[in-house]
Homo-oligomer: A and B are copies of this chain.
């Protein structure tokens, strides 16, 4: 399967397919037609067929999709068929929420440590994950095969921290700081800008008010 042929829009949708297929597996559903999946996901069945065809089309005429095969294939495409060692920079509320969320670990994202400069947080643990001082960041990353990092600190410190992460080999940054990071081309960044998400909600709320008028 050639990843390059998968459109960006489909990639955006893949994690959602993965979630629904995971729920089907939990319910021990072994196969599903595009029609049934369509009703569950509120997406047209032609979109489902078109999307899933893009990476090989695991559906069979008159049989539907094999849920387990499809789940594992999508997992492979998403890169979650293997373990990812992660760290989180910051140990505040948001970092603690991420550390406490066991779902990530079940998907192969193993958080090995949090880092903070607040002496009140250093030495604490969250779900057995320790908080270390910022000075140990580089050593820990190099010695523990870490290649992903989440940034959960205020925007003022995020850019220098991202530079430190990149300099010791981090290739993927999950950025919650309210700023854009400038990283080399071989480093991937996924931004979660909560303020922007909230503004999109208020935009759409303003729009739905307008409709009622």
Stretch of A44-52, A65-73, A131-139, A197-205 on the interface side: A197-205
Q: Pick the contact of A188: B3, B15, B147, B208 (CB < 8 A).
A: B208
- Are B11 and A200 touching (Cβ within 8 A)? yes
Q: Pick the contact of A93: B18, B97, B199 (CB < 8 A).
A: B97
Q: Smallest CB-CB separation from A106: which chain B residue? A: B195
Residues from 158 to 213 in A contacting B, C-beta threshold 8 Å: 171-174, 178, 180, 182, 186-188, 190, 192-212
- Are B104 and A198 touching (Cβ within 8 A)? yes
Q: Residues of B contacting A198 with CB < 8 Å?
A: 104, 107, 109, 174, 190
* Interface membership of A78, Cβ < 8 A: yes
Q: Which residues on A are within 8 Å of B, measured CB to CB?
A: 3, 11-12, 14-16, 18-19, 41-42, 77-80, 84, 92-94, 96-98, 100-101, 103-104, 107-109, 147-148, 171-174, 178, 180, 182, 186-188, 190, 192-212
Q: Residues of B contacting A147 with CB < 8 Å?
A: 205
Give the distance in Å from the alpha carbon of A19 to the alpha carbon of B182 in the complex: 16
Question: Chain A contact residues: over half helix, strand or loop, or mixed?
Answer: helix
- Are B78 and A195 touching (Cβ within 8 A)? no
- Are B201 and A148 touching (Cβ within 8 A)? yes
Q: Residues of B contacting A193 with CB < 8 Å?
A: 15-16, 19
Give the distance in Å from the alpha carbon of A171 to the alpha carbon of B186 in the complex: 42
Give the distance in Å from the alpha carbon of A55 to the alpha carbon of B101 in the complex: 41
Interface centre among A77, A80, A148, A190 (most CB of B within 10 A): A190
- Are A92 and B84 touching (Cβ within 8 A)? no
If A171-B208, A195-B103 touch, whether A202 touches B94 (CB-CB below 8 Å) is: no
- Are A194 and B194 touching (Cβ within 8 A)? no
Q: Pick the contact of A199: B80, B92, B171, B188 (CB < 8 A).
A: B80
Interface centre among A148, A188, A192 (most CB of B within 10 A): A188
- Are B78 and A202 touching (Cβ within 8 A)? yes
- Are B195 and A190 touching (Cβ within 8 A)? no
Given known contacts A147-B205, A186-B208, A190-B198, what 11 new A-B pairs fall within 8 Å (CB)?
A14-B203, A19-B195, A19-B196, A79-B199, A93-B100, A103-B195, A107-B195, A171-B208, A172-B204, A186-B212, A188-B205
